[in-house]
Amino acid sequence: MSVSSHLENSVSSRAKLTARRFFAQNGILSRAHPNYEFRQGQLEMAQAVESALAERRHLVVEAGTGTGKTLAYLIPALLSGKRVVVSTGTKTLQEQLFFKDLPFLQTLFDHPLSVCYMKGRANYLCRQKLYDAEREPVLTGIEETREFRIIRDWERNTETGDRSELRELSESSSLWWKLDARTEYCAGQKCKQFERCFITEMHRRAAESEIVIVNHHLFFADLAVRDEPYASILPEYSAVVFDEAHEIEDVAGQYFGMSVSNLQVQELVKDVAAVSRRKVFATPELDRALVQLGDRASAFFALFPEEGRHGFRNQESFLEANESVYRELLLAIHVLSTRLELVQGAIEDTLPLVRRAKLIQQGLQFWMESGESRYVYWVERRGRGTYLQATPIDVAPILADRLFGRAESVILTSATLSVAGGFEFTQRRLGLENARTLLIESPYDYPKQVVLYVPPHLPDPRQQDFTRRAADEIENVIEASRGRAFVLFTSYQQMRQTHELLRRRLEYPILMQGNAPKNALIEAFRATPNAVLFGTSSFWQGVDVQGEQLSCVIIDRLPFAVPTDPVVSARVEAIRQSGGNAFYDYQIPQAALALKQGFGRLIRGTADRGVLVLLDNRISKLPYGRVFFESLPPYRFTTRLKDIQDFFHV
C-alpha cells in the first residue's frame, strides 16, 4: 500500500488532490518525508503553478535558493492530467528529477506515474553501428577494444541505451562517438534495427507519458524543427516548465541560428571514405570527389584567418573578392552528394551522408547569401576549427510565436529571473507578455549567514594595476577564510594572471579550471580540506557545494558581457536603433542576473555561512550600482577587511 493510501484513506483519484494537500503544514509531504520542513514559499509556488496549468496561463517564478522549487512544479504537473514537458538546464538535473525526485513522488500516488526522460541522440547507442563494428575494422588501439567489449555486453541488457548507465566508460571515450545515434549518421526507418532502436523506443515511451523530462538543448532543438514534416523530436504537449529558465535566451539563439565549420566538412570526407570502403562502394571517382572537396574546403576556410570571435558584415565585398573559391566549394559538395546518390544497394549508409552534405551546403549559402538582417553573422576560429555562425539578434519574436503563442502554459522558474525586484527584463528578452509573476524570497537568513564585502580601496577594474592589487586582496581574504573558497573571474586571461601571481603565495591547495574536467575539479574541491578553486563562467551556476568546505566566494568584477562580442554588440546596436538605452536596458540587467548566479554558489543550506567578496567597487561608487544591490538578497554589507577576519574567527 502506498504512503498516500495509508495517510489519506485511499485518495486514489487525482481530482481529490491539490497542491495544498501536499504542501500544507500537516499535508502529505510532511508525513511522508522524514526531513520535510514546511516552507510557505514552496506552497505559494506550487499553488501558482497549479493555477497556471489549470487556467492555461504563463507564469514566471523566481524561487530563491532553498525554496524547494523542484517539488513545487513537479507535483502540480503530475496532478494536472496534462502532458507537461519539464526542461532542465543540465542533464545532471534531468537525471536527478527522474532517478531521485520522481521515485520518491511515486510513493505518494496509488497509480503508476506516467513519466519518461529524453536526451539528445548522441547520448544513446546505435545498435546497427555496434553490430557493424563486430564485422568491420572500426576499432583503433587496445583501449577501444576494451571499451567495445564493455559496450557490447551492456547492450544485451540495457533497456534505454543511455550512455549514463556506463559508469566505467570514460567521458573522453574515442569509441563512443563511433557508435552513438546522432542524426547525421542515422538512416531512420530504412535501418534494419529501426524497431529495436533505442531512439525509437525513447519516442514510444514519450508518446505514452504525461511528464516528459528533457534538457533545454533538446527542447529548443525540437522547437526549431517542429514545423517541418516528421521532424519533431518531442510528442505533442500542453505545457512546459523551464527549470533554470535564465539560460533559455542563449540556448534558443543557438538552435534558431546556424553554424557551419571546416571540421564538419573534414568529418564528412573522413566518414564517406570509411563507409565506402567498409560497404564496398568506393570508386576512383568517389575518391577524387573527396580529395577535391577537402582541398576546396581548406582553401575557403583559410580565407578567415583571425583567431577568436569576430563579427562579419561584409559578405557582399567578400564574395566579390572570393566568389570563385566559394562557388568551387559548393560545386564540390554537390558533386559528392550526386556520387553518393548514385550508389546502388547501400541507401541506409549513403542517405545520412547525403543529408549531411546538403545541410553543409545550405548552411554555407544561408551564411554567405541570405542577407537576413535579423541575424548577426560572426566567425569563430579556435584550435583547428573555423566556425561560421549566424545567431538571431532578438529571439523574443521567435519565442512569442513558436513557444508562448502555441503552448497552453509555459512556466519559467529559476533563482535568478528578477532585476531589482521586477521581471520586465526577462519578459522583454523572451517575448513573454501578459504572464503572471511571482517572487519568492529564499528561506535562508542571509543577514545572519552572509557578509558581502566590497573593498573600497581597489582601483577601477579597467585600470592597469587592478590585477596586482586584487591579487593582494584575494590573498588577505583567503588567509582569513583558511582557503575553502571559489575565486571566480569574468575572463580566462584574468584568472590565469591572478593564479600566476598567487600560486606560490597561498599556503592552501589550489585547483584551476582547465587543468581537469569540471566535475573532477568539483569532486577534488569537496574532498580536499581548505582548497581554493580558480574558475570562470562555467562555475557560476549549476555547482552545489554544501557546508563549510565552501565558505567564501570571491568575484573579480561586475560580470558585464564583453561589449566587443559580436552577438552582444549586435544586440546593443539593435536596442540603440530602436531608441532604447542599451546600457540600462540590457547590459546592466544581464550583469545583475549573472552576479546573482555567481553569489548563489555560497549558501546552499540553512546551516551554511560565509563571505561574498566583490572586488569591483563600482557597485558602491557609481549610480547604476543600486540595481545590483536591489537585485541581491539582503546580505550584511561591509567595506572593512577586519569584519571578514572577525567573521571567520568567531
Residue 1 confidence (pLDDT) above 70: no
Contacts of 282 (CB under 8 A, 6+ apart): 273, 276
Class of the CATH domain delimited by 16-114+209-256+395-443: alpha beta
Lowest mean per-residue pLDDT among 170-184, 408-422, 632-646: 170-184
Hey, what's the cell of 80? 494536472
pLDDT at 3: 34
Q: What is the pLDDT of residue 610?
A: 93
- Confidence label for 284 from pLDDT (cuts 50, 70 and 90): very high
Question: What is the number of residues in the chain?
Answer: 650
Fill in the DSSP letter of residue 508: S
Place 542 in a pLDDT band, splitting at 50, 70 and 90: confident
Three-state SS for 378? strand
Which pLDDT value is given to residue 2? 39
**Beta strands 532-535; 552-555: pairing state:** unpaired
Q: Is the pLDDT of residue 637 over 90?
A: yes
> Rounded CA gap, 292 and 358, in Å?
17
Query: Using an 8 Å Cβ cutoff, are 450 and 609 in contact?
Result: yes
Partner residues linked to 233 by β-bridges: none
Whether 258-392 and 16-114+209-256+395-443 are alike in CATH topology: the answer is no
pLDDT at 98 over 80: yes
DSSP assigned state of 538 = G
Span 618-636, average pLDDT: 95
Cell of 163: 550512455
Q: Residues 286, 291, 292, CA angle at the centre, nearest 5°? A: 95
Q: Using CA atoms, how far apart are residues 275 and 33, in angstroms rounded to an integer?
A: 55
pLDDT digits (tens, 9 = 90+) for 429-456: 999 998 999 999 999 999 999 999 999 9
**Tens-digit pLDDT profile for residues 349-381:** 888 899 999 999 999 999 999 989 999 999 999
The highest-confidence range among 124-128, 296-300, 345-349, 564-568, by mean pLDDT, is 296-300
| Residue 384, number of CB atoms within 10 A of its CB | 9
- Strand-pair partners of 116: 212
Average pLDDT over residues 549-566: 93
pLDDT at 13 over 60: no
Q: What is the mean pLDDT of residues 256-275?
A: 93
User: Can you give the C-alpha Rg of the chain in angstroms?
Assistant: 27
Fold of 446-648: Rossmann fold (3.40.50)
What is the average pLDDT score of the chain? 91
How confident is residue 14, by pLDDT bands cut at 50, 70 and 90?
low
pLDDT of residue 15: 54
pLDDT of residue 110: 87
Q: Cα separation of 155 and 223, whole Å?
A: 31
Query: Which residue type is seen at 554?
Result: I
For 413-455, give the DSSP string: EES---BTTB-HHHHHHHT--S-EEEEE--SS-HHHHEEEE--
Domain boundaries, given as residue ranges, for the chain: 16-114+209-256+395-443, 121-207, 258-392, 446-648
Q: CATH fold of 258-392, please?
A: Fumarase C; Chain B, domain 1 (1.10.275)
Q: Which of 124, 120, 78, 121 is nearest to 97 (CA)?
A: 78
| Three-state DSSP class for residue 482 | coil
Q: Give the model's confidence band at 5: pLDDT under 50 very low, under 70 low, under 90 confident, else very high.
A: very low
Residues 6+ apart with CB under 8 A from 206: 116, 118, 212, 234, 235
Residue 594 has pLDDT above 70, yes or no: yes
Summarize pLDDT for 302-348 with one digit per residue, the tens. Answer: 999 888 999 998 899 999 999 999 999 999 999 999 999 988 877 78
Judged against a pLDDT cut of 70, whether residue 239 lies above it is answered with yes
* Residue predicted with more confidence, 516 or 61: 61
| Residue 10's pLDDT band (cuts 50, 70, 90) | very low
| Residue whose grid cell is 566556425 | 387
Q: What is the mean pLDDT of residues 148-155?
A: 92
Burial 333-356 (b: 16+ CB within 10 A, else e): bebbbebbeebeebebbbbbbbbb
Predicted pLDDT at 33: 78
Give the pLDDT score at 591. Answer: 95
Angle at 108 between CA 103 and CA 114, to 5 degrees: 55
Q: Which three cell numbers stand for residue 384?
A: 583547428
Contacts of 123 (CB under 8 A, 6+ apart): 91, 162, 163, 164, 180
Pairing of strands 258-261, 385-392: antiparallel
pLDDT at 50 over 90: yes
